[in-house]
Amino acid sequence: MSQGQELIEFLRRFQELQGQRDTTDNLIRDILVHCDRVETNLRLSNQKLVEELRLCKLDLDDATNSRRELQLRLQTHETKTESLVRENEESKSRNPYVFVAIDSDAFIFRDRWTKQGVEGGRRAAQALQNAVAHHFHDKLGQTEIVVKVIVDLGRLFRSLRTDERPHSYADLRDFAAGFAQGQALFEFVDVGPGKDAARFKLQETARWHLRNQNCQHALLGITHTPGYLAFLNEMLGDDEVRPRLSIMQSTPMAEELVATGAQLADLGGGLFRVDKPPGRKSGAAASRRSSSDSGAEGPEASTTSANTASPSSMSYANAILTEKMAPPPPQVATPAPARSHMAATRSRTQYQQFSAQQLDWNPGPRGLDEPITVSLQAMETIRKRKDHDKLCNNHFLRGPCTRRDVCLFVHNYKPNEDEIKAIAVLARYNPCSSGQDCMQEDCIYGHNCPSMKDGVCCHPFCKFPESAHPPRTRYKSIPTRAS
């Protein structure tokens, strides 16, 4: 091979080598560019991941703190809840009691207690305590017995006063005090006169106790009046109240009460009277009457001193004097020597019947006031009392005077039975403001003129209107009268 050809061969080979080197350089450059791009992307991704990691750590820390706080709060609330549950259970088991509410219109204690005053009240309370404890012997344990007897004491007295064995108001009042003293949780509540006052108080008191978780059971002594029946149906409609409510069984038991489906509690026959006093109407009849004092009261409740001895009639409460009032026979007995003089004096006492006049005249819906037989000596004794020495009609005829703090008349006097009748007769000289429309059972005022005699109104200052006198009445004087 010539020297020129060798140089050409070297040149060719150099060019090939140069091309390979260029290719290598390009490859390396491309690789470097690619690596740089990848590195940049990885760096950015790494930074992003680092930031996300930082945020995740923050979230984790926050979640951890929140979870710990929630755990602490949960533990706190669980502790409080457990404490409240424990306190609630302790509260429910603390001072458990059975509540007994008695309407004395429906259940009247037997005479052997009511006539013994304070001691009789204490014995009645103990007997009732024993009867209730015996009835609930499987439920009581450490359970107390709370009793509330609700009564219009004045009305109860007027009813019992007409009994074969009449009561004195002092004995009845002392019986109520003794009953309340007999047991620490026993009460004898006098609600006074007023339409449905006793029923309303009993219902609301029973309702309050039945809402109290400490009250294990409520025992009600009630009548079958519409008001009580509606209350029973309301209470028995509550599933929580129904098993905790019973009514006392009476003799005879009213079908209306049995029909309510209430549980019946038989406390035995020795506590309450089976018979009703002559002056006491049935529960249904009593519920229909209107007993609003303001509507039936006449003038100021003081004993009116009549200027004449004109005949009069009275009615303590239309139901009180139901039997005919014949003059009582002389009661000459031979008790202890100390009372022989009193018996002899009573046998010599003269009585007069103050009867209704004009029996052929009907003054209106209420009719003529019923007659009453009164001792003339007692009439004279009461009539002689003047001014502030007069006796308070309301206090002695209707029970305790509700205005005693401002009433100007006498309240601390103890009249006998004849004097009470005399007070009632003289009270009839005050006309009832409702007249013949009076629906009050125990109204003590007059509903027709009591001064009529042989067609003449003998009272010189008669307060009664023309309508309270028979037709063609002649008047002793001509006072101003409403027609």
Domain 97-288 has CATH 3.40.50: yes
Rounded to an integer, what distance in angstroms lies between the CA atom of residue 283 and that of residue 413? 33
pLDDT per position as a tens digit, 5-53: 888 888 888 888 888 888 888 889 999 999 999 999 999 999 999 999 9
Q: Is the pLDDT confidence value at 204 over 90?
A: yes
Show Cβ contacts of residue 381 under 8 Å, excluding neighbours closer than 6 positions: 419, 422
Rounded to an integer, what distance in angstroms lies between the CA atom of residue 211 and that of residue 207? 6
Residue 253 vs residue 296, higher pLDDT: 253
Q: What pLDDT sits at residue 257?
A: 86
Rounded to an integer, what distance in angstroms lies between the CA atom of residue 164 and that of residue 172? 16
- pTM value is 0.47
* 114: nearest Cα among 149, 160, 152: 160
Average pLDDT of span 241-263? 86
Per-residue buried b or exposed e for 263-288, using 16+ beta carbons within 10 Å of the residue's own CB? eebebeeebbbeeebbbbbebeebbe
pLDDT per position as a tens digit, 377-430: 888 888 888 877 889 988 888 778 888 788 888 888 888 888 888 888 888 888
Task: Count other Cβ atoms within 10 Å, centred on residue 92.
Answer: 13
Q: Where are the domains of the chain?
A: 97-288, 292-483
Identify whether the C-beta of residue 149 lies closer than 8 Å to the C-beta of residue 187.
yes
Q: What are phi and psi of 278, to 5 degrees?
A: -55, -30
Rounded to an integer, what distance in angstroms lies between the CA atom of residue 431 and that of residue 448? 7
For 54-123, the DSSP string reads HHHHHHHHHHHHHHHHHHHHHHHHHHHHHHHHHHHHHHHHSS-EEEEEEETTT--B-HHHHTSHHHHHHH
The residues that bridge with 217 in the sheet, in sequence order, are 98
